[in-house]
Amino acid sequence: MAKTATGIDIGQRTSKVLRGHVKGNTFAVTDFAVAQNPGGTVETGWQALELGFKPAQARVGVTGREVNMRYTRVPRVPDWQLRKLMRFETEEIAGQSDAAVASDFNVLPEIPEIEGEDVVLLAMARESLLEEHLDGLSAHGGKLDAFSPNAVALYNAWVHYGVLMEDTVLVANIGHENVDVIVCRGSDLLFARNLTGGSKLFDDALKERFSVSAKKAEQIKTEMASLEAGASFTDPNAEKASRALMGPAGQILSLLQSTVMFCKSQVKLANLKLDRVMLCGGGAALEGLDSYLRSALNVPVEVFDPFTVVDTSALDPASAELLEEHRMEAVCALGLAHSGSDPDAYAIEILPAKIEKQREFVQGTAFLIAAAVLAVLFLGFFGYKRHQELGTITEMVSRLSSQVRRVTGVDTNTRGLLEENEDLSVYAERLHATVGSGEQLYRALEVIDESLPRDFWIEQFTSTWGADEDWGVSRDQLVPIIRVQGRVREGTEAPSVLFEDFAAAIRKNLPDVRMKEQLGATGSTFAIALTTLAPPDPETAAAGDEDGEGDDG
């Protein structure tokens, strides 16, 4: 069974927490909680929650002004090079904003109109926002899985629980102060973004029109106002309220239209045409909003309700009733829980710097330390046992040397041990060679990473055992040889000079290296073979000896 995960969406108006797991083609909800957020901040949103369960493996949604989502078109490069590119872009943006940010990225599904390139979605969030969420999660005894943009959570909810066709759909989650939107073509994500706006625009318009409090304005919006075309009103205030909502409705319309335009420019899809619009979130409940947008956009506009196919049978009656009341607001929480439960879901997993370092230590450094400790213990025990055996054999030979018959038996045993020692010696030599190969691989990777010209990239990097007579390596004394194949970006100026500098940097930083390099005839490809484990060059060794003798003299 898929792991159980918790999706948490702290909004300016309500905080939603949904827990469950993927179950076949649906999602089984096991716990749900919602609370009003009186202060409209992250801190008050967490404080308002009263949970009867621990939000373990929590995937927390982030949105708003402190979250930035960018799109970059890059050549199809290896994963390590893509990570490096995204790290540089994140550092550049963090430097411009003068604030610490955490980030993660993922490649969008392949887009047929874009050949030879990938579109990368890079999401960044301020560390200060993540710290606020961490404090709130800790207060409820929760454990963080990752932070994820609400727009990505909305995509997971749509692609797994929406009605998919081979058309282009815009899905909008209208919150109180933010609108999270995605544009999909079939099941493929084309664009995801968070926008500033939401149902607060309607509340502010009614507050100004009637000079009332925010609470009263929301009541008027819910009970009296309507955006239905040609609606008849028996109450003059209802008609006045409905007219007051036309301006904010136009702003919501502009946000959705700008999303399509921004998608065209960012992802370079000039012929993109919208076929459907789906609405969810608390703001989507406004009467007549769907028909208003349908008329303005001239495409079908419907409400997106994923809970029609979600399994809620495990909820207690009170929680089930609560989810029924807030189902339109809980869509992002569902998407967050799904992405945390399904390892194959499209994911953006943002982690604060301190948590990322802790996980890297646990998953990498701690494992290496444990492996090294176990290796030392094994070798110590192995040496101790062999030392004991050697002492026993020596004592037996000394005591039984005068007894010919028993000497024969001792001789046989001794020969067996000698053969075993020879096998162990060969094994030890192999271990030593393996360690040398790993050290060579590490040093070569480090030097190449530091020296590789900007417009060069690596396509193949291998380490194999081989021989090379030019290096004095015979076939009965194979050594690990690293072979690198790469390409040069078309249009690069003076590739041969850059390649010579690159090769010189490798030789400088690997003084004991034996290397062969070759730049393709067209300057678009290159190949390098190198090893630091070959016998020393006789001419180099002789020159070193002469220098040493001169120093002694």
Which domain CATH number covers 471? 3.30.1360.100
Instruction: Give CA–CA dist 301/252, Å, rounded.
Output: 14
Asked whether the predicted pLDDT for residue 223 surpasses 60, the reply is yes
Instruction: Give CA–CA dist 345/83, Å, rounded.
Output: 20
Mean pLDDT of 403-423: 72
- The answer as to whether 378 is a domain residue is no
Q: Under a CB-based contact definition with an 8 Å cutoff, are residues 250 and 210 in contact?
A: no
The CATH number of the domain where 256 resides is what?
3.30.420.40
Mean pLDDT of 481-497: 90
Check whether residue 105 and residue 15 sit in a common domain: yes
- The answer as to whether 391 is a domain residue is no
Provide the pLDDT for residue 527.
94
Check whether residue 346 and residue 460 sit in a common domain: no
Instruction: Give CA–CA dist 5/21, Å, rounded.
Output: 6
Stretch (H or E) spanning 439: helix 404-451
Mean pLDDT of 457-475: 89
Check whether residue 73 and residue 51 sit in a common domain: yes
Q: Is the pTM of this model over 0.85?
A: no
- The answer as to whether 447 is a domain residue is yes
Check whether residue 171 and residue 206 sit in a common domain: yes
Check whether residue 481 and residue 510 sit in a common domain: yes
Instruction: Give CA–CA dist 90/100, Å, rounded.
Output: 10
Last residue of a domain, one of 321, 351, 381: 351
- The answer as to whether 358 is a domain residue is no
Mean pLDDT of 288-293: 92
Considering only residues 129 and 115, tell me which one the structure prediction assigns the higher pLDDT. 129
Provide the pLDDT for residue 306.
95
Mean pLDDT of 372-396: 76
Check whether residue 122 and residue 189 sit in a common domain: no
Check whether residue 320 and residue 251 sit in a common domain: no
Among candidates 331, 242, 320, 326, which has minimal Cα distance to 278? 331
**DSSP class of residue 311?**
B
- The answer as to whether 216 is a domain residue is yes
Digit-coded pLDDT (tens) for 305-359: 999 999 999 999 999 999 999 999 999 999 999 999 999 999 999 998 888 777 7
Considering only residues 548 and 268, tell me which one the structure prediction assigns the higher pLDDT. 268
Provide the pLDDT for residue 553.
38
Asked whether the predicted pLDDT for residue 27 surpasses 60, the reply is yes
Asked whether the predicted pLDDT for residue 46 surpasses 70, the reply is yes
Asked whether the predicted pLDDT for residue 1 surpasses 50, the reply is no
Check whether residue 536 and residue 441 sit in a common domain: yes
**DSSP class of residue 511?**
T
| Token output for 470 | 């030019």
Q: Residues 375, 379, 381, 384: what is their CA dihedral angle, to the nearest 10 degrees? A: -170
Check whether residue 144 and residue 101 sit in a common domain: yes
Average pLDDT, the chain: 86
- The answer as to whether 76 is a domain residue is yes
Asked whether the predicted pLDDT for residue 410 surpasses 90, the reply is no
- The answer as to whether 246 is a domain residue is yes
Provide the pLDDT for residue 96.
74
Digit-coded pLDDT (tens) for 101-122: 899 999 998 888 888 888 899 9
Query: Range with the lowest mean pLDDT among 203-207, 383-387, 455-459, 481-485?
Result: 383-387
Mean pLDDT of 231-240: 79
- The answer as to whether 448 is a domain residue is yes
Check whether residue 298 and residue 314 sit in a common domain: no
Number of domains in the chain: 3
Describe the strand order of the beta sheet including 144-149 as a list of residue ranges: 26-36, 14-23, 5-10, 58-62, 144-149
Describe the strand order of the beta sheet including 178-185 as a list of residue ranges: 188-196, 178-185, 168-174, 276-280, 301-303
Asked whether the predicted pLDDT for residue 548 surpasses 60, the reply is no
Provide the pLDDT for residue 492.
87
Asked whether the predicted pLDDT for residue 205 surpasses 80, the reply is yes
The CATH number of the domain where 12 resides is what?
3.30.420
| pLDDT over 70, % of the chain | 91
Q: How confident is the model at residue 371 (pLDDT cuts 50, 70, 90)?
A: low
Check whether residue 67 and residue 25 sit in a common domain: yes
Digit-coded pLDDT (tens) for 170-192: 999 999 999 999 999 999 999 99
Check whether residue 62 and residue 47 sit in a common domain: yes
Domain residue limits at 76: 1-149+310-351
